């Protein structure tokens, strides 16, 4: 008799963090059920990246959910507001302001839909690439928020009531960008196929906060390797 497969839902945006996360979840032995949200983000390229990463990984199912958050607005990622450039002078974690790239309650919306999907496909866990060190001050990336959502999963689903709540896993919560890059290299993630930029276009803008964090992470890993090779 074949062993029952372990199933996991992975939130896959097509960016570096969530793509690395999907590789990681596959590596630890799960069958992947990826979910990608087309929420009206200005970066359409990330949807192509998500599709491609899912295909390369051979996921069991890749769910694309359309939910138009432009109807609600309130963010530079969905509205015709300018995406801030060059925030690297002030580390996001020391800036008390929640940036305009925050999408109101986005992660609660995404996690809620992922929870429904996980319950239907019989997944044991939802993996979510939240990150609270290099994060941009977004309230829905904080550890206390994740803990609160675990309670939602426990109290608000049939699975939870029956005593086997769907786990919410955030293995990269305390990783900085360079640790994520190292993990990506270790797992042979095709980094060049991922898209982190908040803008759309042929090439990443190189100036938005997401581009800057990605660049900093990649540079620090290669700089460290170069220094070691000189010893």
Closest CA to 19 of 45, 66, 57: 57
CB of 160 to Zn ion, least distance (A): 39
By beta-carbon proximity to Zn ion, the closer residue of 91 and 122 is: 91
Q: Tell me if 211 contacts Zn ion by CB under 5 A.
A: yes
By beta-carbon proximity to Zn ion, the closer residue of 126 and 208 is: 208
The span from the CA of 11 to the CA of 111, in Å, is: 8
By beta-carbon proximity to Zn ion, the closer residue of 15 and 204 is: 204
* Cβ-defined contacts of 86-94 (< 8 Å, 24+): 86/207, 86/212, 87/209, 87/212, 88/209, 88/212, 88/216, 92/134, 92/135, 92/136, 92/137, 92/209, 93/133, 93/134, 93/135, 93/137
Contacting range for Zn ion; rule: CB under 5 A; set: 10-18, 42-50, 103-111, 198-206: 198-206
Q: Tell me if 205 contacts Zn ion by CB under 5 A.
A: yes
CB of 134 to Zn ion, least distance (A): 15
Q: List, as one string, the DSSP characters of 122-177.
A: T-SEEE----SSS--S-GGGSHHHHHHHHHHHHHSSHHHHTT-PPEEE-TTTT--H
Among 76, 208, 218, 221, binds Zn ion (CB under 5 A): 208
Q: Tell me if 153 contacts Zn ion by CB under 5 A.
A: no
Among 50, 197, 218, 221, binds Zn ion (CB under 5 A): 197
By beta-carbon proximity to Zn ion, the closer residue of 54 and 204 is: 204
By beta-carbon proximity to Zn ion, the closer residue of 19 and 114 is: 19
- Tell me which residues touch Zn ion (CB under 5 A): 197, 204-205, 208, 211
């Amino acid at each position: 008799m074949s062993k029952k497969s372990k199933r996991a839902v992975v939130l896959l945006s097509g960016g570096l963090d969530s793509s690395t996360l999907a590789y990681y979840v596959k590596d630890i032995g799960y069958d992947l059920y990826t979910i990608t949200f087309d929420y009206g983000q200005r970066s359409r390229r990330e949807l192509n990246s998500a599709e491609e990463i899912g295909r390369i990984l051979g996921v069991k199912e890749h769910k694309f959910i359309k939910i138009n958050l432009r109807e609600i607005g309130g963010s530079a990622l969905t509205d015709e507001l300018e995406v801030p450039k060059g925030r690297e002078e002030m580390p996001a974690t020391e800036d008390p302001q929640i940036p305009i790239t925050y999408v109101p309650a986005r992660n609660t919306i995404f996690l809620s839909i992922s929870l429904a999907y996980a319950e239907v496909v019989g997944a044991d866990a939802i993996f979510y690439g939240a990150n609270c060190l290099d994060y941009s001050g977004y309230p829905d990336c904080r550890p206390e928020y994740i803990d609160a959502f675990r309670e939602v999963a426990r109290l608000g689903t049939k699975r939870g009531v029956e005593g086997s709540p769907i786990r919410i896993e955030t293995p990269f919560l305390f990783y900085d960008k360079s640790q994520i890059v190292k993990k990506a290299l270790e797992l042979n993630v095709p980094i060049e196929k991922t898209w982190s930029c908040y803008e759309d276009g042929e090439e990443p803008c190189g100036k938005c906060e997401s581009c800057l964090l990605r660049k900093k992470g990649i540079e620090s890993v290669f700089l460290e390797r170069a220094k070691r090779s000189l010893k």
